[in-house]
Amino acid sequence: MTDMFDEHHELPEGLLEVSAENLHQVLPRPALIHLQGQSVRPLFFSTLLHGNETTGFYALQQLLREYFSEGLDGHELPRSISIFIGNIKAAQTGVRRLEQQVDYNRVWPGTPHDYLAEAHMMQRVTDIMRERHVEASIDIHNNTGKNPHYACINKLDREFIALGCLFSQTLVYFTTPKGVQSGAFAELCPSVTLECGMSGQAEGTAHVLSYLKQLLSMPPLRNQQPGHFNLYHTVARVNIPEFYSFGFEDDATINLLPELENYNFIELAAGTVLARVEPESSAWLQAFDEHDRERGRDFFEYRDNQILLKKPVMPAMLTMNTQIIRQDCLCYLMERYPLELDEN
């Protein structure tokens, strides 16, 4: 037990039946749960780092029911697993994070905010899994806007790509923002972030459950050959400056197009309109590159009271949820990334 999370070596009572919003009745705070399987080296799963992203939790719940429900004595996990369940307080109210909280997926090792208590918690979780010789790491998320299911990796390594290809042919390579779970664990083992569509969709839960079952039964990752994949590289994170009002109703300084989230994972041409702005407001968007340099003028141009793309790009994670846009970002911009893997 630590100051901020509890460590369990067996399944907490009631975990397999509780809803995400009532999870606090079973787990009063974040929890790291170790379950022994036939293979000693554990797989690591993290879920609910954002409280409104519940697909991973429900998929893990369904998986564990197959091994720990009554009448299944002796039905042992093929592999040991460790599960980190994160922002339980935010899950209680169905939000990404509470207003007074930090983002639980921005405070893992490598974060610039390593002075925070939450960063010390994530460092301890990482240290524990290093000591346990974690074999692979899977961080499970949802989008708030319309996006396909895809996998994100932090290293262009065959094992990372193979781990992602088991989930989707669409892969995104990114190195920022810093302090994300997959980036921290990429220093320990192959790691991947799963983006599973919007929360509450049965097909998302089913897809993740199928993926988890594959992981439990597959041979070591070093023996896996990646299948066909389309690889994209995140080149910028787009933010709306805090001093501008924004919305979708033509009543703000920056008025985003209502159809914007339909642009996710579509290769957009230069000149595509993203928003209208108040006349003579000179409102602008920020775009931060991999080195956290502001490069908005490289990606956007402003004419006729509109914000347009200056160059062809593919956006991801566009959403109409204004709270998420403020708490996180408007979207990420991507480009195709050519990569040839060595056959050896």
331 burial (CB, 10 Å; 0-12 / 13-18 / 19+) is buried
Q: Band of the pLDDT at 1, cuts 50, 70, 90? A: very low
Domain positions in the chain are 6-228, 235-333
Q: Provide the pLDDT for residue 280.
A: 81
Beta bridge partners of 43: 81, 136
What would the two tokens of residue 230 be? 């389309």
**316-338, pLDDT tens digit by residue?**
999 999 999 999 999 999 999 98
Q: How far apart are CA 145 and CA 319, in angstroms?
A: 4
**6-57, pLDDT tens digit by residue?**
999 999 999 999 999 999 999 999 999 999 999 889 999 999 999 999 999 9
Q: Provide the pLDDT for residue 73.
A: 57
Listed in sequence order, the residues at least 6 apart from 70 whose beta carbon sits closer than 8 Å to its beta carbon are none
pTM of the entire predicted model? 0.92
Q: Are 238 and 216 in contact (CB under 8 A)?
A: no
H or E segment to which residue 327 belongs: helix 322-327
What would the two tokens of residue 195 be? 């983006």
**243-301, pLDDT tens digit by residue?**
999 999 888 999 999 999 999 999 999 999 999 999 888 889 999 999 999 999 999 99
Q: Are 78 and 216 in contact (CB under 8 A)?
A: yes
Residue 2 has pLDDT above 80, yes or no: no
Q: Among 16-30, 72-86, 95-109, 149-163, which stretch is predicted with the lowest mean pLDDT?
A: 72-86
What CATH homologous superfamily does 6-228 map to? Zn peptidases (3.40.630.10)
Distance between first and last Cα of the chain: 44
What would the two tokens of residue 284 be? 């602008």
Share of the chain above pLDDT 90, in %: 87
What would the two tokens of residue 268 be? 């957009």
Q: Provide the pLDDT for residue 340.
A: 66
Q: 3-class DSSP state for residue 124? A: helix
Average pLDDT of the segment spanning 64-75: 75
Q: Provide the pLDDT for residue 337.
A: 92
